[in-house]
């Protein structure tokens, strides 16, 4: 074992060996202490322990998914929890294995030489096929939810048109004739009202740059792209007033592009529409003259 240092540069024409202070193992590397190997493995044990603790504790302090008030939200949240459990198990298993190997195979823990092995065909096959099957299952399993939220548009005329601009949400309800683009359209800014338990179809547009129409409590998010019309639909299940957030950076005022969505009974919704209609008629103004908080 004394030859190790002398022979380390065989083939290099005999050069001075590396100078490392302190004791060395037979492999020529500096001796570590057992306690330091223990300490380092415990540090890595903190990753799965504290990592899962954070996810367990956070919901108790209301640092968790905001209350869901939509039909789609149920399946989106269900999928979130499914993936959370799946990845949580893999996370715990791999991190604990890493900790255990670090603890056990510390050079200071035993004098056995390292196992001379280049791999295992069987293991490679196993740990390729199991994740492949899992991921494929996950891919197929979620397709239905995606189709419900983004592909199976309800057959109805748009309930409202939302036009995003720096930095506000301009809303246009179709009015009594239930058709957008007619004279009785009703105009509102940043104050979306939605009847409960009904399919609600938004026609989303942008006037200037990209924006993203984000309703956290309804699990809705869709970019608004100038030059395109995006259909967005959902069914709200609980009355209340919730946030509308812009989720795509749209300029300096991005942070304050805030709206509110009010989910209410059909009767309340109709009353609100009637009030808006009355206000609009009383002021006798067209859409272009609606006083809005301009971008500047």
Partner 1 sequence: MSTVTQPHAPPKETAHHDHVATRGSTSLSTFLSTYVFSKDHKVIGLQFLFSTLVWFLIGGLLALAVRWQVAWPWSDVPVLGKLFAQHGGQMAPEFYTMLFTMHASVMIFLVIIPILAGAFGNFLIPLMIGADDMAFPTLNMLSYWFMWPAFFFFGASFFVEGGAAAGGWTSYPPLSTSTVSAPGSGMGQTLWLLGLTMVGVSSMLGSVNYMTTIILMRAPGMTMFRLPMTIWAMFITAILQAFALPVLTAAGFMQLTDRLIGTGFFSPEGNIINNAMSGAGGGQPLLWQHLFWFYSHPAVYIMILPAMGMVSDILTTFARKPLFGYRPMVYSIAGIAGLGFIVWGHHMFISGMNPALGVTFMVATMMIALPSAVKTFNWLGTIWGGRIHYTTAMLFAISFVSMFIIGGLSGIFMAATPVDIFIHDTYFIVAHFHYVLFAGTAMGVWSGIYFWFPKMFGRTMNEFWGKVHFFLTFIFLNGTFFTMHILGAVGFPRRLADAYHYETFHHLQPLNAFMTWCAMGMVATQIIFAINFFWSMFRGPIAGRNPWNANTLEWTAPSPPGHGNFDFQPVVYRGPYEYSVPGCEKDHLMQTDPPHPAEAAAAAAAHA
Q: How far is the CB of 177 from partner 1 (least distance, A)?
A: 26
Identify which of residues 141 and 266 has a Cβ nearer to partner 1 in the complex.
141
Identify which of residues 119 and 291 has a Cβ nearer to partner 1 in the complex.
119
How do 191-195 and 259-264 pair as beta strands?
Answer: parallel
Among the listed residues 216, 186, 209, the one whose alpha carbon sits nearest the alpha carbon of residue 277 = 186
Among the listed residues 251, 243, 174, the one whose alpha carbon sits nearest the alpha carbon of residue 207 = 251
Neighbours of 108 (CB within 10 A): 14
Q: How far is CA 198 from the centre of its chain?
A: 27
Identify which of residues 131 and 279 has a Cβ nearer to partner 1 in the complex.
131
Identify which of residues 89 and 156 has a Cβ nearer to partner 1 in the complex.
89
Q: How far is CA 201 from the centre of its chain?
A: 23
Identify which of residues 58 and 278 has a Cβ nearer to partner 1 in the complex.
58
| Residue 186 · residue 277 · CB < 8 Å | yes
Q: How many CA atoms lie within 13 A of 275 on its CB side?
A: 8
Report the alpha-carbon angle 133-150-259, nearest 5.
Answer: 125
Q: How far is the CB of 281 from partner 1 (least distance, A)?
A: 28
Identify which of residues 140 and 282 has a Cβ nearer to partner 1 in the complex.
140
Q: How far is the CB of 46 from partner 1 (least distance, A)?
A: 8
Q: How far is the CB of 284 from partner 1 (least distance, A)?
A: 24
Q: How far is the CB of 2 from partner 1 (least distance, A)?
A: 10
How do 160-165 and 168-173 pair as beta strands?
Answer: antiparallel
Q: How far is the CB of 178 from partner 1 (least distance, A)?
A: 25
């Amino acid at each position: 074992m004394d030859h190790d240092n002398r022979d380390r540069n065989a083939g290099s024409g005999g050069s001075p060996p590396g100078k490392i202070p302190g004791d060395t193992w037979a492999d020529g590397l500096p001796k570590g202490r057992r306690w330091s190997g223990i300490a380092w493995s415990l540090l890595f044990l903190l990753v799965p322990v504290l990592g899962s603790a954070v996810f367990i504790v956070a919901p108790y302090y209301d640092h968790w998914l905001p209350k869901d008030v939509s039909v789609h939200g149920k399946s989106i949240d269900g999928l979130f929890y499914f993936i959370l459990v799946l990845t949580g198990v893999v996370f715990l298993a791999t991190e604990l294995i890493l900790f255990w190997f670090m603890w056990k195979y510390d050079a200071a823990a035993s004098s056995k030489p390292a196992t001379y092995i280049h791999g295992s065909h069987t293991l490679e096959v196993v740990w390729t096929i199991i994740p492949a099957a899992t991921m494929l299952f996950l891919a197929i399993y979620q397709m239905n939810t995606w189709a419900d939220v983004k592909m199976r548009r309800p057959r109805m005329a748009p309930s409202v048109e939302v036009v995003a601009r720096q930095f506000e949400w301009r809303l246009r309800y179709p009015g009594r004739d239930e058709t957008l683009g007619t004279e009785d359209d009703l105009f509102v800014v940043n104050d979306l009202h939605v009847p409960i338990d009904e399919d609600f179809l938004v026609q989303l547009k942008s006037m200037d740059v990209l924006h993203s129409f984000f309703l956290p409590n309804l699990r809705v998010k869709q970019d608004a792209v100038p030059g395109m019309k995006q259909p967005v639909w959902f069914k709200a299940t609980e009355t209340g007033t919730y946030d509308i957030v812009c989720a795509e950076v749209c300029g300096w005022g991005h942070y304050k592009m805030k709206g509110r969505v009010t989910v209410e009974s059909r009767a309340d919704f109709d009353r609100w529409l009637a009030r808006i209609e009355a206000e609009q008629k009383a002021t006798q103004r067209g859409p272009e003259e609606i006083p809005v908080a301009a971008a500047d």
